[in-house]
Amino acid sequence: MTTIRAAVDDDRDAILSIIAPVLRAGETYAIDTDLSDEQILDYWFMPAHAVFVADDSGKILGTYYLMANQRGGGKHVANCGYMVSPEAQGRGLAQAMCEHSQGIAKNRGFLAMQFNHVVSTNTRAVALWQRLGFEIVGTLPKAFRHPVHGLVDSYVMFKTL
């Protein structure tokens, strides 16, 4: 039974083991690839982030953060980042976390959700977000330097909640 719940301090090691390889691969998140474990956790747990985990009877299989994408006049739009453990790929966990995050966002008064930088080569993510109602509202030409593919486009994706 997998439940999605707010992260607690005891989840930090498990979260690190999921997110560190993804960030260090540098293929999907616009974050430095040479961060220390501590810097990675500081990033994921930055004060603006509300962090959640997908907990399968005590085993953490995925995590996401939710934050306001902008401040002031832009603070009604949420932003999220999701990561799934390699062993849990293909089980619908990213979808479950995205749907969960939309519910949390609505509860917190957000009116929309925006992903600022979906790397175009991350086709599985793009297709999933589209299936969940997000639209590509912008294309950023060659805005991401992929370690394998070089400069590739990124998408801005948006969904009104």
Which residues of this chain interact with its own copies, rule CB under 8 A? Answer: 23, 26-27, 29-33, 70-77, 111-112, 114, 116-117, 119, 137-147, 151, 154, 156, 158, 160
Q: What share of the chain is helix, strand, coil (3-state, %, to 5)?
A: 35, 40, 30
75: number of Cβ within 10 Å = 13
Nearer to its own copies, 103 or 109 (CB): 109
Is 12 or 76 the residue whose CB approaches its own copies more closely?
A: 76
Rounded Cα–Cα distance for residues 87 and 56 (Å): 12
- Considering beta carbons, is residue 6 or 111 the nearer one to its own copies? 111
Residue whose CB is less far from its own copies, 27 or 56: 27
Q: How far is the CB of 96 from its own copies (least distance, A)?
A: 26
Give the nearest distance from C-beta 38 to its own copies in angstroms.
16
Report the candidate in 16, 78, 83 with the shortest Cα–Cα distance to residue 50: 78
Provide the minimum distance between the beta carbon of 161 and its own copies in the complex, in angstroms, as a whole number. 11
Name every residue whose Cβ is closer than 8 Å to that of residue 50 and which is 6 or more positions away in sequence: 6, 65, 66, 67, 104
